[in-house]
Amino acid sequence: METEKKEQMNHFPQGEEKPGLVERYATTIKLFFVAMLTLMLLIPLAMIQSLIGERQNTRQEVVREITSKWGGEQTITGPCLVIPYEEIRVEEKREIVERRNLLLLPETLDAKISTSVEERRRGIYDASVYRSNILLTGEFDISVIARQNLNPSQVKWNDVRMIIGLSDLKGIQEQVSLEQDGEVTIFEPGIPVENLEPGRGSASDNMLYELFSVGLNAKPAFPTPDSALQEIYPFSVAMRLNGSRGIYVVPAGKTTTASIQSDWTTPSFDGEFLPQTREISDKGFVAEWRVLDLNRSFGQVIRSDNSNTLNQMAASRFGVRFIQAVDQYRQNMRSVKYGILVLLLTFVAVLFIELMRKRRINPFQYLLVGLALLLFYTLLLSMSELLGFNLAYLIAAVMTTLLISLHMGSILGSQRQGVQIGVLLLFLYLFLFLLIQMESYALLAGSLGLFVILAVIMYYSKQLR
């Protein structure tokens, strides 16, 4: 027993007190503090994510306000012929005459659309709007009606109307004319068809749209009812239409061809069908579609009250969206999702320097470093709205790196160690920037990068005692 006591006394030099509990577990306590601080900083990080969402909603509201006055996203449906007829049914030995309508779709439809895109600004926000010249040509085969078990005497030929569904009538810039065999008829606003279902669809951004909620109608020129079923009726419709965000065509023809050309350089082809050919250059794009009736799930004759078929018709639209080349809010959100990685690795680097250099750092300084790292994201968000994401990222990263490296160099009493922390931060920001720019390979690159970082941490952790 006396020998053991002597060994314990000899273990601590004379004049030195036995280290207390805090001193013996200082490294463990500091690690626990860093972990808790990182978790606490996730709260303001989540608040920054909420701020990004609010700014994005503000931009969308401004865009909606601009486009509501100019013209919204346009979906062109038709032209279609509305064939009214009378149907007789017997109920309790009484004949009841009901008036119904058939929608006759064109045998061929060719849409030629040329657009000129402009940017309208309000404050720091902008919206893409366009002017378009549209020419719709094709022909109707009225004989299709005879295959619907419909007696020609039931048809009210004098009430036949031609309709075109549009999304926003505010975009019409001049009179819309229908030309048939040299005769010109001017379209009137509205679709005066009883029991016509609107035909609802959902866009890729989950926005709902309707085909026939608003539109135009005209009285076409028909010969005598006796010869109507044997006739092919060509048509040509010209219009000038303003809109925003995108323009779409519904493949109403048994054979539908469409050509869209524009000076917009970053188109996003959208809808049920992709273009068969497309050319994109720094001067704009040209895209062409060809859709057959076999490619869709509805026929050439549709009852006006058949909501399921009209909904299928709405879902078949195709076209182009005039999107911004860079969505800074989406990139900001992706950068914030990597925030915990930046916080944790920076704290680990500072902790390693503290332990290996035996320079104690006040826990309050860790908090200041964490707040500076969070400030990077608010700087990035605010500047990206004005300068674009890439330049804003560069400026915010340089400002944050300089602030932290100078501060840590002063705290540690060594500018060299401050520069080391700065170099580490620059590497992290560069690594995260590359991940944000990647789409398909972001997960692979991120996993490999984290593997290398973990290997480096494991190597230097051997020096800790």
Q: Could you tell me whether strands 74-91 and 246-249 are parallel, antiparallel, or unpaired per DSSP bridges? A: parallel
Over residues 427-442, the pLDDT tens digits come to: 889 988 888 888 677 7
Q: Report the sign of the C-alpha dihedral through residues 180, 183, 184, 188, in that order.
A: negative
Angle at which helices 363-387 and 26-70 cross, to 10° = 20
Sign of CA dihedral 148, 153, 154, 155: positive
Contacts 24+ apart (CB under 8 A), 146-149: 146/229, 148/102, 148/301
Residue 378 has pLDDT above 70, yes or no: yes
Note the pLDDT of residue 233: 86
For the cut 50, the answer to whether the pLDDT of residue 1 exceeds it is no
Q: Higher-confidence residue: 186 or 358?
A: 186
* Residue written as token pair 């959902």: 202
SS3 239: strand
Q: How confident is the model at residue 33 (pLDDT cuts 50, 70, 90)?
A: confident
Given a cut of 50, whether residue 117 has pLDDT beyond it is yes
Q: Is the dihedral of CA 269, 77, 104, 227 positive or negative?
A: negative
Identify the three-state secondary structure at position 266: coil
Residues in Cβ contact with 22 at an 8 Å cutoff, skipping those fewer than 6 apart: 29
Distance CA 319, CA 209 (A): 14
pLDDT for residue 7 is more than 50: no
pLDDT tens readout for residues 302-320? 988 889 999 999 999 999 9
Instruction: Specify the higher pLDDT residue, 229 or 182.
Output: 182
